[in-house]
Structure 1
Amino acid sequence: MLEWVIGLQLRCRKPWTDCTHMYIPVIANSHCFSVEIVFADSTIYVYDSDHSCLTQSQLEQILEPLAVIVPMMVSHAMIRVNDRLAIVRNTTTARQERSGDCGIFAIKYIEFLSIGRNIDTTNQSWIDMWRHKLACDLYEYNCDP
Protein backbone atom coordinates (compact mmCIF):
# COMPACT_ATOMS: atom_id res chain seq x y z
CA MET A 1 0.00 0.00 0.00
CA LEU A 2 2.83 2.38 0.81
CA GLU A 3 4.27 1.89 -2.72
CA TRP A 4 0.88 2.93 -4.08
CA VAL A 5 0.81 6.05 -1.88
CA ILE A 6 4.31 7.22 -2.83
CA GLY A 7 3.63 6.60 -6.51
CA LEU A 8 5.58 3.46 -7.33
CA GLN A 9 2.34 1.75 -8.32
CA LEU A 10 -0.12 4.05 -10.08
CA ARG A 11 -3.40 2.15 -9.85
CA CYS A 12 -5.63 5.20 -9.73
CA ARG A 13 -3.41 7.39 -11.95
CA LYS A 14 -3.99 10.35 -9.69
CA PRO A 15 -1.13 11.71 -7.61
CA TRP A 16 -1.62 11.48 -3.86
CA THR A 17 -0.23 14.98 -3.42
CA ASP A 18 -3.58 16.37 -4.65
CA CYS A 19 -5.63 14.14 -2.33
CA THR A 20 -7.71 15.95 0.30
CA HIS A 21 -10.08 13.19 1.48
CA MET A 22 -10.05 9.42 1.82
CA TYR A 23 -13.18 7.25 2.02
CA ILE A 24 -13.08 3.78 3.56
CA PRO A 25 -15.81 1.21 4.18
CA VAL A 26 -15.34 -0.57 7.51
CA ILE A 27 -16.77 -3.90 8.64
CA ALA A 28 -16.64 -4.65 12.36
CA ASN A 29 -18.65 -7.18 14.34
CA SER A 30 -20.70 -7.99 11.20
CA HIS A 31 -21.66 -4.33 10.84
CA CYS A 32 -20.72 -1.92 8.03
CA PHE A 33 -20.13 1.80 8.28
CA SER A 34 -18.15 4.42 6.39
CA VAL A 35 -15.35 6.73 7.36
CA GLU A 36 -14.22 9.90 5.69
CA ILE A 37 -10.71 11.04 6.46
CA VAL A 38 -10.26 14.77 5.93
CA PHE A 39 -6.57 15.52 5.76
CA ALA A 40 -6.96 19.28 6.39
CA ASP A 41 -8.71 18.51 9.71
CA SER A 42 -6.61 15.44 10.59
CA THR A 43 -9.95 13.84 11.41
CA ILE A 44 -11.77 10.58 10.75
CA TYR A 45 -15.50 11.25 10.41
CA VAL A 46 -17.68 8.19 11.04
CA TYR A 47 -20.98 7.72 9.20
CA ASP A 48 -23.02 4.88 10.66
CA SER A 49 -26.65 3.95 10.00
CA ASP A 50 -26.91 2.15 13.36
CA HIS A 51 -25.80 4.57 16.07
CA SER A 52 -26.32 2.02 18.84
CA CYS A 53 -24.35 -0.88 17.33
CA LEU A 54 -20.94 0.28 18.59
CA THR A 55 -20.04 2.31 21.64
CA GLN A 56 -17.64 5.23 21.26
CA SER A 57 -14.96 3.15 23.00
CA GLN A 58 -15.47 0.21 20.61
CA LEU A 59 -15.43 2.58 17.63
CA GLU A 60 -12.16 4.15 18.75
CA GLN A 61 -10.61 0.71 19.27
CA ILE A 62 -11.68 -0.43 15.79
CA LEU A 63 -10.40 2.74 14.11
CA GLU A 64 -7.14 3.00 16.08
CA PRO A 65 -5.09 1.38 13.26
CA LEU A 66 -6.45 3.90 10.73
CA ALA A 67 -5.86 6.80 13.11
CA VAL A 68 -2.18 5.86 13.38
CA ILE A 69 -1.24 4.23 10.06
CA VAL A 70 -2.89 6.66 7.62
CA PRO A 71 -0.84 9.65 8.87
CA MET A 72 2.36 7.62 8.47
CA MET A 73 1.40 6.63 4.92
CA VAL A 74 0.27 10.02 3.65
CA SER A 75 3.34 11.75 5.07
CA HIS A 76 5.30 9.91 2.36
CA ALA A 77 3.16 11.73 -0.22
CA MET A 78 3.95 15.04 1.50
CA ILE A 79 0.40 15.39 2.83
CA ARG A 80 0.54 17.08 6.20
CA VAL A 81 -1.63 15.67 8.98
CA ASN A 82 -1.29 15.24 12.73
CA ASP A 83 0.55 12.15 13.98
CA ARG A 84 -2.76 10.68 15.09
CA LEU A 85 -6.16 11.38 13.53
CA ALA A 86 -9.08 12.44 15.72
CA ILE A 87 -12.27 10.36 15.51
CA VAL A 88 -15.63 12.13 15.25
CA ARG A 89 -18.91 10.25 15.02
CA ASN A 90 -21.71 11.79 12.95
CA THR A 91 -24.97 11.23 14.81
CA THR A 92 -27.31 12.96 12.35
CA THR A 93 -27.40 10.18 9.78
CA ALA A 94 -30.63 8.28 9.19
CA ARG A 95 -31.04 5.08 11.18
CA GLN A 96 -31.48 1.80 9.38
CA GLU A 97 -34.74 0.02 10.10
CA ARG A 98 -33.72 -3.49 9.05
CA SER A 99 -30.73 -5.60 9.92
CA GLY A 100 -28.48 -6.06 6.90
CA ASP A 101 -29.05 -2.63 5.35
CA CYS A 102 -25.86 -1.19 6.82
CA GLY A 103 -23.80 -2.20 3.76
CA ILE A 104 -25.95 -0.23 1.32
CA PHE A 105 -25.98 2.75 3.67
CA ALA A 106 -22.16 2.58 3.89
CA ILE A 107 -21.84 2.49 0.09
CA LYS A 108 -24.22 5.41 -0.37
CA TYR A 109 -22.48 7.49 2.30
CA ILE A 110 -19.19 7.13 0.45
CA GLU A 111 -20.83 7.81 -2.91
CA PHE A 112 -22.62 10.93 -1.64
CA LEU A 113 -19.64 12.30 0.31
CA SER A 114 -17.26 11.82 -2.62
CA ILE A 115 -19.45 13.94 -4.93
CA GLY A 116 -20.24 16.58 -2.33
CA ARG A 117 -23.88 15.57 -1.90
CA ASN A 118 -25.66 15.91 1.43
CA ILE A 119 -25.79 12.52 3.18
CA ASP A 120 -28.89 13.56 5.09
CA THR A 121 -30.89 12.60 1.99
CA THR A 122 -30.09 8.93 2.55
CA ASN A 123 -32.96 7.15 4.25
CA GLN A 124 -34.54 3.74 4.57
CA SER A 125 -37.14 4.36 1.85
CA TRP A 126 -34.43 4.34 -0.86
CA ILE A 127 -32.49 1.26 0.29
CA ASP A 128 -34.34 -1.43 -1.70
CA MET A 129 -34.08 0.60 -4.94
CA TRP A 130 -30.37 1.29 -4.34
CA ARG A 131 -29.73 -2.40 -3.62
CA HIS A 132 -31.36 -3.40 -6.93
CA LYS A 133 -29.55 -0.64 -8.83
CA LEU A 134 -26.21 -1.73 -7.41
CA ALA A 135 -26.90 -5.34 -8.41
CA CYS A 136 -27.78 -4.22 -11.96
CA ASP A 137 -24.72 -1.97 -12.20
CA LEU A 138 -22.42 -4.77 -11.04
CA TYR A 139 -23.99 -7.22 -13.48
CA GLU A 140 -23.63 -4.75 -16.37
CA TYR A 141 -20.03 -3.95 -15.46
CA ASN A 142 -18.97 -7.59 -15.16
CA CYS A 143 -21.19 -9.38 -17.66
CA ASP A 144 -21.66 -7.00 -20.58
CA PRO A 145 -20.22 -8.66 -23.70
Structure 2
Amino acid sequence: MWDLDVNCMYVPLNVGKHWISMCVNFVTRSIEVFDCGGLRHPGAVEPFVVLIPRIVKAVQSSKSRQYHVKQYTVSYASMPFLLNKSSSDCGVYALKHIECHLLGLDFSLVNDNNIREARQKIAYDLWEAAIDLVLIERMAKFTPPITISSALVELE
Protein backbone atom coordinates (compact mmCIF):
# COMPACT_ATOMS: atom_id res chain seq x y z
CA MET A 1 0.00 0.00 0.00
CA TRP A 2 1.26 3.43 -0.88
CA ASP A 3 2.50 5.41 2.13
CA LEU A 4 2.23 2.26 4.29
CA ASP A 5 4.39 -0.35 2.56
CA VAL A 6 6.11 2.14 0.25
CA ASN A 7 7.29 5.40 1.78
CA CYS A 8 9.07 6.90 -1.18
CA MET A 9 10.01 6.36 -4.80
CA TYR A 10 13.20 7.50 -6.53
CA VAL A 11 12.93 8.74 -10.11
CA PRO A 12 15.78 9.52 -12.52
CA LEU A 13 14.39 12.01 -15.02
CA ASN A 14 15.73 13.22 -18.35
CA VAL A 15 15.20 16.93 -18.92
CA GLY A 16 16.26 17.70 -22.48
CA LYS A 17 19.86 16.50 -22.65
CA HIS A 18 20.31 16.59 -18.88
CA TRP A 19 19.56 14.08 -16.10
CA ILE A 20 18.15 14.95 -12.70
CA SER A 21 16.65 12.74 -9.99
CA MET A 22 13.78 13.06 -7.58
CA CYS A 23 12.58 11.50 -4.36
CA VAL A 24 8.80 11.29 -4.19
CA ASN A 25 7.79 10.94 -0.53
CA PHE A 26 4.29 9.51 -0.15
CA VAL A 27 4.18 10.14 3.60
CA THR A 28 5.04 13.84 3.56
CA ARG A 29 3.49 14.34 0.11
CA SER A 30 6.62 16.02 -1.16
CA ILE A 31 9.10 15.80 -4.01
CA GLU A 32 12.76 16.58 -3.48
CA VAL A 33 14.70 17.31 -6.68
CA PHE A 34 18.42 16.67 -7.08
CA ASP A 35 20.22 18.46 -9.94
CA CYS A 36 24.00 18.57 -10.09
CA GLY A 37 23.71 21.84 -12.03
CA GLY A 38 21.69 23.42 -9.24
CA LEU A 39 18.97 24.40 -11.70
CA ARG A 40 15.21 24.35 -11.31
CA HIS A 41 12.99 22.45 -13.72
CA PRO A 42 9.38 23.41 -13.01
CA GLY A 43 8.15 22.30 -16.44
CA ALA A 44 9.50 18.78 -15.91
CA VAL A 45 8.59 18.43 -12.23
CA GLU A 46 5.11 20.01 -12.28
CA PRO A 47 3.36 17.02 -13.93
CA PHE A 48 4.57 14.79 -11.06
CA VAL A 49 3.26 17.28 -8.49
CA VAL A 50 -0.24 17.07 -9.95
CA LEU A 51 -0.46 13.47 -11.17
CA ILE A 52 1.17 11.46 -8.37
CA PRO A 53 -1.52 12.20 -5.75
CA ARG A 54 -4.20 11.25 -8.28
CA ILE A 55 -2.43 8.02 -9.19
CA VAL A 56 -1.95 7.15 -5.51
CA LYS A 57 -5.65 7.69 -4.88
CA ALA A 58 -6.59 5.57 -7.89
CA VAL A 59 -4.52 2.59 -6.75
CA GLN A 60 -5.58 2.68 -3.09
CA SER A 61 -7.63 -0.15 -1.74
CA SER A 62 -11.34 0.46 -1.33
CA LYS A 63 -10.80 0.85 2.44
CA SER A 64 -8.58 3.88 1.97
CA ARG A 65 -10.38 5.67 -0.84
CA GLN A 66 -10.79 8.63 1.48
CA TYR A 67 -7.30 9.74 0.43
CA HIS A 68 -7.48 13.45 -0.38
CA VAL A 69 -6.00 14.57 -3.68
CA LYS A 70 -3.64 17.39 -2.86
CA GLN A 71 -0.67 18.56 -4.90
CA TYR A 72 2.75 17.57 -3.60
CA THR A 73 5.23 20.22 -2.51
CA VAL A 74 8.55 20.54 -4.32
CA SER A 75 11.97 21.36 -2.89
CA TYR A 76 15.37 21.41 -4.52
CA ALA A 77 18.34 19.91 -2.71
CA SER A 78 21.24 22.28 -2.20
CA MET A 79 24.18 21.42 -4.45
CA PRO A 80 27.79 22.61 -4.36
CA PHE A 81 28.49 25.50 -6.75
CA LEU A 82 29.92 24.61 -10.19
CA LEU A 83 29.37 20.89 -9.87
CA ASN A 84 29.64 18.76 -13.03
CA LYS A 85 31.86 21.18 -14.96
CA SER A 86 32.21 18.69 -17.81
CA SER A 87 28.39 18.43 -18.01
CA SER A 88 28.66 14.92 -19.45
CA ASP A 89 28.25 13.09 -16.16
CA CYS A 90 24.81 14.33 -15.10
CA GLY A 91 23.36 10.81 -15.37
CA VAL A 92 25.99 9.46 -12.99
CA TYR A 93 25.33 12.37 -10.62
CA ALA A 94 21.59 11.66 -10.77
CA LEU A 95 22.13 8.02 -9.75
CA LYS A 96 24.68 8.88 -7.06
CA HIS A 97 22.37 11.54 -5.60
CA ILE A 98 19.67 8.88 -5.27
CA GLU A 99 22.17 6.61 -3.53
CA CYS A 100 23.33 9.35 -1.14
CA HIS A 101 19.77 10.35 -0.27
CA LEU A 102 18.69 6.75 0.26
CA LEU A 103 21.68 6.03 2.54
CA GLY A 104 21.48 9.38 4.35
CA LEU A 105 24.90 10.48 3.08
CA ASP A 106 25.96 14.04 2.34
CA PHE A 107 25.81 15.04 -1.34
CA SER A 108 29.28 16.57 -1.08
CA LEU A 109 30.66 13.02 -1.21
CA VAL A 110 29.82 12.99 -4.92
CA ASN A 111 31.89 15.58 -6.72
CA ASP A 112 33.89 16.20 -9.88
CA ASN A 113 36.98 14.67 -8.26
CA ASN A 114 35.42 11.22 -7.86
CA ILE A 115 32.65 11.12 -10.47
CA ARG A 116 34.87 9.39 -13.06
CA GLU A 117 35.43 6.46 -10.71
CA ALA A 118 31.70 6.40 -9.90
CA ARG A 119 30.91 6.22 -13.64
CA GLN A 120 33.36 3.34 -14.08
CA LYS A 121 31.92 1.50 -11.07
CA ILE A 122 28.36 1.81 -12.42
CA ALA A 123 29.51 0.56 -15.84
CA TYR A 124 31.33 -2.38 -14.26
CA ASP A 125 28.32 -3.29 -12.09
CA LEU A 126 26.06 -3.29 -15.17
CA TRP A 127 28.55 -5.41 -17.13
CA GLU A 128 28.90 -7.83 -14.22
CA ALA A 129 25.11 -8.20 -13.99
CA ALA A 130 24.86 -8.76 -17.74
CA ILE A 131 27.15 -11.81 -17.57
CA ASP A 132 25.86 -13.21 -14.26
CA LEU A 133 24.57 -16.70 -15.18
CA VAL A 134 22.21 -16.90 -12.20
CA LEU A 135 20.68 -13.53 -13.03
CA ILE A 136 20.38 -14.45 -16.72
CA GLU A 137 18.62 -17.70 -15.79
CA ARG A 138 16.22 -15.90 -13.43
CA MET A 139 15.43 -13.29 -16.05
CA ALA A 140 14.73 -16.01 -18.63
CA LYS A 141 12.24 -17.65 -16.26
CA PHE A 142 10.58 -14.43 -15.12
CA THR A 143 6.85 -14.18 -15.60
CA PRO A 144 5.13 -10.93 -14.74
CA PRO A 145 2.66 -11.09 -11.86
CA ILE A 146 -0.98 -11.51 -12.72
CA THR A 147 -2.64 -8.15 -12.47
CA ILE A 148 -6.23 -7.21 -12.32
CA SER A 149 -6.92 -5.16 -15.36
CA SER A 150 -9.94 -3.05 -15.77
CA ALA A 151 -11.09 -0.35 -18.06
CA LEU A 152 -9.90 3.19 -17.60
CA VAL A 153 -9.44 4.61 -14.12
CA GLU A 154 -11.08 7.99 -13.83
CA LEU A 155 -8.82 10.60 -12.20
CA GLU A 156 -10.77 13.36 -10.53
TM, length-normalised to structure 2: 0.71
**What CA deviation, in whole Å up to 9, does each residue of 1:60-102 have, x standing for no partner?**
1211211111111222335967511111112334611212110
- Structure 2 partner of 1:37: 24
Q: Whole-Å Cα distance in 1 between the matches of residues 52 and 93 of structure 2?
A: 24
Q: Which one of 116, 122, 126 corresponds to residue 128 of structure 1?
A: 116
What pairs up with 1:49-88 in 2 under 5 angstroms? 49-52=36-39, 56=40, 59-75=41-57, 76-77=59-60, 78=64, 83-88=70-75
CA RMSD of aligned residues (A): 2.1
1:18 is paired with a residue whose SS is: coil
1:97–1:104 Cα change, 3 Å: same
- Structure 1 partner of 2:102: 114
Q: CA deviation at 1:38?
A: 1.8
Q: Give the fraction of aligned pairs with identical amino acids, expressed as a percent.
A: 27
Say whether the 8 Å CA contact 2:54–2:69 is kept in structure 1: no
Say whether the 8 Å CA contact 1:40–1:81 is kept in structure 2: no
Q: Structure 1: 5+ residue runs without aligned partners?
A: 1-14
1:26 is paired with a residue whose SS is: strand
Q: CA deviation at 1:104?
A: 0.3
Q: Which one of 16, 22, 41 corresponds to residue 9 of structure 2?
A: 22
1:37 is paired with a residue whose SS is: strand
- Structure 1 partner of 2:89: 101
1:32 is paired with a residue whose SS is: strand
**1:69 aligned partner, one-letter code:** L
Q: CA deviation at 1:138?
A: 0.5
1:121–1:46 Cα change, 3 Å: same
Q: Structure 2: 5+ residue runs without aligned partners?
A: 134-156
**Which has the greater radius of gyration?**
2
